[in-house]
Amino acid sequence: MKSILSFLNDCELGKKQNCRNLTLFPVLHTNGVEPYYLTLEQAIESGLLTVTEVDDAGNVNRLKLTNKGSKPILLIEGEELRGAKQNRIVNASFLIAGKTTTTIPVSCVEERRWQYDSPKFSAGKKVMHASLRREAQSSMCDSLSRGSGHRSDQSRIWANIAEKSQRMKVESPTMAMADVFDHFEDELSVFNEAFDAVEDQVGALFAIDGAVVGMECFASGETFKLFFDKLIKSYAMDAIESDQAKTVLSVPPSKAGAYIESLQKAEGKRHPRVSLGATVSFQSRIALGTALVDDDTVLHLSAFKKADGSNGNQVRFQRFSARRARHTGGRNHSGGGLFLIE
């Protein structure tokens, strides 16, 4: 956790932005790293990465990656890959070494198709909706703690997509996550247009209906900008489902600061690597998350508010306690370096 704590201590929260019931606090870091890797989308579109089924028979929860370039390739938790026998998402953030062929753990997000529509995968240009990412991340962390690798609860992922499709009145012949996103593309674009990346931004903290639900951070501001629209859509998909009155609920900076202060007190565990870098899982009293750490660099960090138990609401993100953390207006008292910019 030392590298994660150091990263969080150097972060600031920028001025919040709102669109309907979705709030974004920019996470700022003045010492972002220069990318020494390609993203999955960059690598596929440049022809340096080929992603296929592991063999002709295929395996629902494994894919084969061939990195033909010399640079590592950064894969982000929840990224979609479309094509081959069925669409998949990446189970965790990984850094794939150059000039290597390896297999990675994935999950299916298209339950009712198991036949080729292309010989290889394309970049799906989507990140799985945030509430399902939280569920998948939690089950993967349980698997890691048992020594069973980066496995998710595949049955729960299929069930979640089916339930969300039903609640949002989207019909998909193959029960594809992508069909839900495509159905709401115009509305999701409204959210994209409402938010702007700012100088030194490397991440964002998101709140829905006035409650903080998650945070995404990258070592590089340049990389964050490549994922900015995808991450907004990931959280906006849950905001759309929850949005009834389409009003903006106030999210005080102190609530956002308290969330990060909680992460600064989290306990973490490092797990065996898949290629380069290592997965670190961590949890605090109110949040859980994972980070991809390469040496001392936190390449990607995602953290979600813990579930408080289901109350039958449509969206599975639960509200924070009404208790408001002390707001100091400057550095926090846990020894960290968080600033809040009103």
Q: How far apart are CA 307 and CA 161, in angstroms?
A: 18
Q: How far apart are CA 119 and CA 134, in angstroms?
A: 31
Bin 222: left if φ > 0, else alpha if -120 < ψ < 50, else beta.
alpha
Strand order in the sheet with 121-127: 49-53, 62-67, 100-108, 88-90, 79-83, 121-127
pLDDT of residue 272: 86
Question: If you write DSSP's letter for every residue of 255-274 in order, what string do you get?
Answer: HHHHHHHHHHT-EEEE---S
pLDDT in tens, the chain (342 residues): 788 999 999 999 999 999 999 999 999 999 889 999 999 999 999 999 999 999 999 999 999 999 999 999 999 999 999 999 999 999 999 999 999 999 999 999 999 999 999 999 999 999 999 999 999 999 999 999 999 999 999 999 999 999 999 999 999 999 999 999 999 999 999 999 999 999 999 999 999 999 999 999 999 999 999 999 999 999 999 999 987 555 667 788 999 999 999 999 999 999 988 999 999 999 999 999 999 999 999 999 999 999 864 333 334 443 322 222 323 333 333 333 443 433
CA distances from 29 to 85, 163, 267, 300 (A): 41, 38, 23, 13
Strands 12-13 and 339-340: parallel
Q: How far apart are CA 270 and CA 295, in angstroms?
A: 12
Helix and strand numbers, DSSP H then E, in the chain: 8, 19
pLDDT of residue 304: 97
Domain that holds residue 181: 2-340
pLDDT of residue 32: 87
Among 316, 319, 287, CA closest to 301:
287
The answer to pTM > 0.95 is no
Question: If you write DSSP's letter for every residue of 39-69 in order, what string do you get?
Answer: EHHHHHHTTSEEEEESSSS--TTEEEEEE-S
| Total domain count, the chain | 1
